[in-house]
């Protein structure tokens, strides 16, 4: 089953959410309207919360997890992902914040306490280290991720295009 409770906490789904039957969405997870979670994804809100904003798409093989609360980190690290975010295939998102209108390239890794500000374009295979903050409006790439250059108008338009495309695609799946 794609949606499971943990300690009697069941994920909360907005309107018209699509979760592939091979994905797992567990525990303290809130998905906004028109979110899509594609095959083989794990969204595991067992020891802290996960919040994903409207029209965000989580593509195949992505893992989203959190850090539990403990003495030296009383809040732990939850995951907050804004609206209109595209998360490419096989990304690992752990205990971080991704603001709205970002694109996370395939195979990237974002670690605890990292913050990606609105409008970050993170190139495929990048590593965002713990606690690192990425400024919006730029292409970031590498291991560790470095600011490469300012985004072009075409790249900035891709945030909205990708979000709308994935809303239409998940609607096709919902309306089989």
| The two structure tokens encoding residue 21 | 């039957």
Closest by alpha carbon to 11, among 37, 22, 75?
A: 37
> How many Cα atoms within 13 Å fall on the side-chain side of residue 38?
18
Nearest Cα neighbor of 56 from 174, 171, 162, 151 is: 162
| Ranges of the chain whose pLDDT falls below 50 | none
Whole-Å CA distances, 130 to 48, 52, 67, 77, 119: 17, 20, 12, 11, 20
What does the pLDDT read at residue 176? 74
pTM tops 0.85: yes
3-class state of residue 36 by DSSP: strand
In terms of CATH, what superfamily is 3-174?
Hexapeptide repeat proteins (2.160.10.10)
Task: Find tokens 């499971």 and name the residue.
Answer: 4
> Residue 49: which of 24, 31, 73 has the closest Cα?
31
Phi-psi region of 16 (alpha: psi -120 to 50; beta: other; left: phi over 0): left
Identify which of 98, 112, 77 has the alpha carbon closest to the alpha carbon of residue 140.
Answer: 98
The pLDDT, as a whole number, for residue 83 is 98
């Amino acid at each position: 089953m794609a949606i499971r409770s943990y300690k009697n906490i069941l994920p909360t789904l907005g309107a018209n959410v699509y979760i592939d039957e091979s994905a797992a969405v567990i525990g303290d997870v809130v998905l906004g309207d028109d979110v899509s979670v594609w095959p083989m994804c794990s969204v595991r809100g067992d020891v802290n919360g996960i919040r994903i904003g409207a029209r965000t798409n989580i593509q195949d093989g992505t893992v989203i997890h959190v850090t539990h609360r403990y003495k030296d980190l009383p809040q732990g690290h939850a995951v907050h992902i804004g609206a209109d975010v595209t998360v490419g295939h096989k990304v690992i998102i752990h205990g971080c914040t991704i603001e709205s209108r970002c694109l996370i390239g395939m195979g990237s890794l974002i670690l605890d306490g990292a913050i990606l500000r609105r409008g970050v374009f993170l190139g495929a295979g990048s590593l965002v280290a713990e606690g690192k903050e990425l400024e919006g409006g730029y292409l970031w790439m590498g291991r560790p991720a470095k600011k490469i250059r300012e985004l072009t108008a075409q790249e900035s338009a891709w945030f909205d295009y990708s979000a709308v495309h994935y809303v239409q695609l998940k609607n096709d799946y919902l309306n089989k």
